[in-house]
Amino acid sequence: MARFTGKTVIVTGAGSGIGQAAVERFASEGANVLAADLNTDAMKDFDGDKVVAHQVDVSKLDQVEAMVKAAVDRFGQLDVIVNNAGVLCEGTVTEVSLDDYRKVMNINVDGVFYGCRAAYPELKKTKGCIVNTSSISGLGGDGSMVGYNMSKGAVTQLTRALARDSGRDGVRVNAVAPTLVHTNLTAEMNEDKPLMDAFAKAIPLGRGAQPEEIAAVIAFLASDDASFVHGHVMPVDGGLNGSNGQPDSSEF
């Protein structure tokens, strides 16, 4: 397939996991890709004619605006932005540190908002689209992850609200809502065999997802194959039923 030939895509959180897989998927389908991440070492293999690495702190609006400008300056236009950068945050409302709470909100919420805001004028020109990375944690609720749940709930509602406004400009907005994905972000969880066994038991397909499986859904939502999909937050959860959130670790 070459669904993105001649199109320009920005992917944040591109240094690992879902973001890295998305960069590779878009590039394989012909896109010019600006691969953006705070960790430039993680993107050292990305530089080339079609894929360009760019350092960004998504919690800083001026850096996000500079990221969008860099993509347009390099490739001439912007057709897709994938707001994927995110961090985890554990703890109940009384246990989570305020520093961790602020960090997860600054990256997971402000970073997505800034990406949408900065990219929108360029996407309006190309009738492009936005794909945000939410989570089934933003559709249901998890034990001892109040900050993360709040942040992904905000991404879910931002996606829906922006879609109500952007349709008139021809800019589509959607999100993916994965369950457990085997990435560096979940590496510590992956080492907990009882926890992984419980996830496998709870998920009807019997396992967590690979980053490439989430990237495939992101590419679909960004493509013309999804030309009438708008304002949708798509659970990608192996049949877990995302509206109920993740399996409750307190029950393991």
Catalytic hit among 101, 114, 120, 148: 148
120 part of the active site: no
Q: Write out the two tokens for 210.
A: 């690979």
Q: Write out the two tokens for 173.
A: 């907005």
Active site residues: 148
